[in-house]
Amino acid sequence: MGRKTFEQVITFNDWSFKDTKMIVLTSKDIEIPEKLKKTVTTSNTLSSAQSIKELSDQPFNHIYVDGGTVIQYFLSTGLVDEITVTIVPILIGNGKSFSRLLPKDLYLQHLKNNSL
């Protein structure tokens, strides 16, 4: 998750990620709240091949990527193989689009719809 997204999410009443391990990708120093220090760490090496190798060497089944700049980076480097788009009845006025500034078109395959 990117720093700006993280700073917004920690203002919410509930921490919806529970005990999920999280790495906040940031180029600035940030303060991790004490209650999250067991599961949340930071890294400032988003664009380095070393950080991607370190993530790839971990025994993860899935990696959830969040934050406009972070999503843009992962998409543009071909590191995303599945996108879940959730539509909620709120229009967000600020923030970075996850698809802006991609170097080329990405062709996606629709897998399924879920509706409530």
- Tell me the per-residue pLDDT of 5-46, one tens digit each, with 9 for 90 and over: 899 899 888 888 888 888 898 888 899 999 999 999 898 866
**The pLDDT of residue 40:** 93
Give per-residue pLDDT as tens, 43-91: 886 655 666 667 777 777 778 888 888 888 888 777 788 888 776 665 5
Nearest to 104 by CA among 79, 76, 85, 67: 76
Domains in the chain with CATH codes: 1-116 (3.40.430.10)
pLDDT over 70 (residue 101): no
Bridge partner list, 40: 22
How far apart CA 65 and CA 86 sit, in angstroms, is 14
**The pLDDT of residue 63:** 80
